[in-house]
Amino acid sequence: MWQLDTDLLRYLPPWFRRILDFQEICKTESAQMEALAAAINAVADNFFFQTMDEGAVSTWEKIFGIVPNPQTETLDFRRERVLNRVSMQPPFTLGFLYQKLDQIIGKGKYEIHVDYPNYTLYILSSAENQSYATEVSYTVGRIKPAHIVFINQPFVGSQIALGETVALSALVWQYRLGSWGLGLTPFVLTEDKEVVVVPSNYSVQQELLEDTAKAIPPNVASARINGSIVISSLDRTTVGNVAQVQYTVTAEQTTLVTQIELLDSDGNVLTTSPVYVPVTEPAIFTHKIQVDVKEG
């Protein structure tokens, strides 16, 4: 960062520093110097997408024909969007698509499946607002070949952590010959001594994780969309230590999904997630609940 010494008064001869007029002049000039330093730093910051100000971002948005919505889009998101647009240069590969989705959605927050015989690209991802959902659609549309069909499958991932703690206790006898009163104090107490197994020891075995995951799908009776649309036709499976629940939402039911919930048979909410998924054709929603070991 550019640093300017804005204390101009100290550069004057000592006999001028005591004069009120010169003090006020230097105070005004110091403010102008601070503004100059800020302008110099802004020029340096605007060389990089990660630090550019709103004016520079707006210039790039005009270049790409982007109409921003400052009411719903943060400056950080707008920076990421123009960086994403300027970095999209052919040739494009599947690895490049992974790289771009890592930037937009985040590593581990999506899955890609390519159905080569049917020329279809499936992306399981979670979008919590319109801005990111729109940018994912634009990015995939620019990267994929024209003959490949892109189908977005909404994805919600959750995790249940199991941990085991083993504590060592000792029995403390309250009975003393000739001194213990019946009913006044317990005959024997349990006193905790120390913890001999903590969750970081990974004592929980894979079999327990898988058994716990198998117990999750039977407890899910229905899914609820936008707080009112209840779907009872569910596909419930378990693979290893991951429980999976799938269901389909059609455009006749709703054209925009903003919240999804899983309910038990009594209507209690088991999971809830805010999403943003426009529905123009049947959309398959996938919930994956992973049962894993809790670290200490």
Question: Which residue shows structure tokens 């029995």?
Answer: 171
Structure tokens given for 129: 């607002």
The pLDDT value recorded for residue 172 is 65
pLDDT above 90: residue 8: no
pLDDT tier at 153, thresholds 50, 70, 90? confident
Structure tokens given for 3: 């640093």
Structure tokens given for 44: 């340096």
pLDDT tier at 268, thresholds 50, 70, 90? very high
The pLDDT value recorded for residue 184 is 59
Q: What is the mean pLDDT of the chain?
A: 82
Q: For the residues 84-111, what does the mean pLDDT come to?
A: 82
pLDDT digits (tens, 9 = 90+) for 19-64: 888 888 888 888 888 888 778 878 888 888 888 888 899 999 998 8
pLDDT above 80: residue 189: no
pTM over 0.85: no
The pLDDT value recorded for residue 50 is 84
Could you tell me the CA-to-CA distances from 175 to 54, 169, 170, 187, 211 in Å, in that order? Answer: 77, 18, 15, 6, 45
pLDDT tier at 225, thresholds 50, 70, 90? very high
Q: Considering only residues 217 and 89, tell me which one the structure prediction assigns the higher pLDDT.
A: 217
Q: Which of 111-115, 134-138, 172-176 has the lowest mean pLDDT?
A: 172-176
- Beta-sheet strands, E only, within 92-165: 110-115, 120-125, 149-162
pLDDT above 90: residue 266: yes
Q: Considering only residues 143 and 127, tell me which one the structure prediction assigns the higher pLDDT.
A: 143
Question: Which residue shows structure tokens 């959750």?
Answer: 158
SS (H, E, C) 176-190: CCCCCCCCCCCCEEE
pLDDT above 70: residue 195: no
pLDDT above 90: residue 262: yes
pLDDT above 60: residue 177: no
CA 10/CA 287 separation, integer angstroms = 67
Q: For the residues 99-121, what does the mean pLDDT come to?
A: 85
pLDDT above 80: residue 193: no
Could you tell me the CA-to-CA distances from 214 to 87, 202, 289, 291, 293 in Å, in that order? Answer: 44, 20, 11, 10, 16
pLDDT digits (tens, 9 = 90+) for 274-291: 888 888 888 888 888 888
pLDDT above 90: residue 231: yes
The pLDDT value recorded for residue 226 is 92
